[in-house]
A and B are shown apart, each in its own frame.
Chain A
Amino acid sequence: MTHITLPRTLLLAALLLLALFPLIGTTFYLQLGAKIMILAIFALSLDLLVGHTGLVSFGHAAYFGVAAYALALMAPQYQAASLWLTLPAALIVTAFAALVIGFLVVRTTGIYFIMVTLAFAQMLYAIFHDTKLGGGSDGIYITVRPEMTIAGFKALDLESPVQFFYLVLIVLAAVYLLLSKILHAPFGRALAGIRVNEQRMRSIGFPVLAYKLGAFVLGGTIAGLAGYLAACQFGFVNPEILAWHQSGIVLMMVILGGMGRLHGAVIGAAVYVMLQELLSASALFGDYAKHWQLPMGTLIVFSVLFFPHGIGGFIDVLLRRRGNASAITAEAGDD
């Protein structure tokens, strides 16, 4: 498996299209777009672990949920919380949770890693579900969205769907850029080495556990960023956002889009959410719409059968076939 990046022109075109979207999109579609981009950030954070480090985390929703709850618990009831305070605080709490859990789970590999990440996420679920800490199974409302003020002026009004859309777009672009830089930097190359041959990494002198923990904390923190934005958008958190099926959905997005490619994670999130919207539209499917998970599951099975490297992988093949050889930069190192 080689590490593949999309050509820069294609990425910039996608960014431009997204930036122009609010000109035509209605509030419904702007909100849907923001939701997709938030989940894309979430999927990117998981792909760092699954696709780039070889750590199949099945409890990634824990960090998404912890940050969302952190905002909900910090936000005053009838006033706007400051984004400048609550966002860093939520990220620090999430990073700490990922550090503590990561410290324990990176010692395991394979199926055991999958199981212990799931177990820790379920423990957090139980804490929020069964105690009064986060309002129990009812969750907490965030009645007023956080505000971004600079010297008394509102820099962005998160109540406005358009402005919220742009905030999420900027964060997504920043996360994408950050991860693609990191993956080409020594740290990211070491993660790739761990994915391919962990024991060899150890014998050439890498403290593998420290690198895995670094990736785990970074992935968890970015998931927290997505969770914070999700809590902002929906104004509501409940234990379901850190339950195991949320972890499963984001894993499906990564697989659907193609593991180990950043654009794959974004495409996977978009395709998943749009399919879900489509299949659950009662205007289209009437009474069958409530059984949307059945056709969704079928589609995912077929996509795994026909696109073994995900939709992102399929796109890479198309680009390569068009002779656009420069579009594909194979593994860093083929200079």
Chain B
Amino acid sequence: MTEAILSVMHLAIHFGGLAAVDDVSLEVKIGELHVVIGPNGAGKTTLINLLSGDLTATAGQIQFCGSEITELAPDERSRLGIGRSYQKTDIFPSFSALENCRLAAQSRQPRPLNWLRDAMSYPETMDKARRALKAVGLADRAGDLALALSHGEQRQLEIAMCLATEPQLLLLDEPLAGMGREESLRMVELIRHLAETHAVLLVEHDMDAVFQLAKQLTVMVDGKVLATGAPAAVRANRDVQNAYLGYTEKPDD
């Protein structure tokens, strides 16, 4: 039994009177891909924002590799080994695909750096960037501007940027959103592959992908955890069927 990389305990955030995330507890381990599902407005993206540091929790605790990170800023969490992708593609459009990844890898270069040495002349950083592009299948697009990539490729690039920082934990916010069938299949394969060596928390709407990938499944409704556990057990849960799965697919599907 591996140790949990990420432990979330009674996490909550209130916006005025609204508890967008309310008393959420979960764990993420390497090799045990954890998927969070729930209807729109359930607080899934807010949860990811709390874990990445884009938002700070009003209550509860987040532990990453045994140390408390609840109050840390996003860049500090990134440097500890948490990489995230955004629901809406978030890249550097005017930079080449390689430069997007090189910049991500650069954040791990020791400081202070030589202020005059060309950024492209750090072999280790360049290697990391190229490896990350290769891992997502974009090696042959390295020199193209990110804005010239297709939507699907941009989503792949975003994951490559995460990988270039060599994280232990990946927070993926709807990586399949807006993708075609072919691209989706490839992305699912990529995520499955990444989950073997990384702890992954995935928020996703595509139920086919969810049940293909999930080793752990958490269902959120109105900011709260409705059910959590192995996918089969969660699926059989009557509350979940009523609240969520019932109107997206048949239970005996």
Contact = CB atoms under 8 A, between A and B. Distances in A.
B197 interface: no
Contacts of B99: 189, 331-334
A192 B142 CA distance: 19
Given A181-B116, A182-B116, A189 B78 contact: no
Contacts of B248: none
B109 interface: yes
A17 to B, nearest CB: 27
Interface residues on A, range: 20 to 34
Contacts of A193: 92, 95, 103
Contacts of A187: 113, 115
B102 interface: yes
Interface in B72-106: 73-76, 78-79, 83-84, 86, 90-96, 98-99, 102-104, 106
B205 to A, nearest CB: 22
Given A207-B75, A331-B99, A188 B165 contact: no
Contact of A333 (B76, B79, B84, B96): B96
B52 A203 contact: yes
Given A186-B109, A333-B102, A197 B91 contact: yes
Contact of A204 (B78, B93, B109): B78
B118 A185 contact: yes
B185 interface: no
B161 interface: yes
B91 A200 contact: yes
Given A186-B113, A205-B165, A332-B120, A199 B75 contact: no
The 7 A-B residue pairs whose C-beta atoms are closest, nearest first, are A333-B99, A205-B78, A205-B107, A333-B96, A204-B104, A181-B116, A189-B119
B202 to A, nearest CB: 17
Interface in B29-68: 52, 54
Nearest to A189: B119
Given A332-B118, A335-B98, 17 more contacts: A1-B94, A178-B116, A185-B113, A185-B117, A189-B102, A197-B91, A202-B78, A203-B52, A203-B54, A204-B164, A204-B165, A205-B78, A205-B79, A206-B75, A333-B95, A334-B98, A334-B99
A189 B107 CA distance: 11
Interface of B: 52, 54, 73-76, 78-79, 83-84, 86, 90-96, 98-99, 102-104, 106-109, 113-120, 122, 142-143, 145, 161-162, 164-165
A10 to B, nearest CB: 21
A203 B108 CA distance: 13
A131 interface: no
A241 B92 CA distance: 38
A333 B54 CA distance: 28
Nearest to B84: A203
B197 to A, nearest CB: 19
B122 A186 contact: yes
A206 B78 CA distance: 8
Contacts of B75: 201-203, 205-208
B95 A196 contact: yes
A204 B161 contact: yes
B108 to A, nearest CB: 7
28 contacts: A1-B94, A178-B116, A185-B115, A185-B116, A186-B106, A186-B113, A187-B115, A189-B102, A190-B103, A200-B92, A201-B103, A202-B73, A202-B74, A203-B86, A203-B90, A204-B162, A204-B164, A205-B104, A207-B75, A208-B75, A331-B96, A332-B118, A333-B98, A333-B120, A333-B143, A334-B98, A334-B143, A335-B98
A206 B106 CA distance: 9
Contact of B106 (A178, A182, A189): A189
Contacts of B92: 193, 196-197, 200
Nearest to B98: A333
Given A196-B95, A205-B78, A335-B143, A189 B108 contact: no
Contact of B108 (A178, A200, A205): A205
B119 A185 contact: yes
Interface in A296-335: 331-335
* Residue of A193, A203, A331 ringed by the most chain B CB atoms within 10 A: A203
B115 to A, nearest CB: 5
A160 interface: no
Contacts of B93: 196
A9 interface: no
A208 B91 CA distance: 16
B199 to A, nearest CB: 17
A208 B145 CA distance: 23
A230 B99 CA distance: 39
A189 B98 CA distance: 13
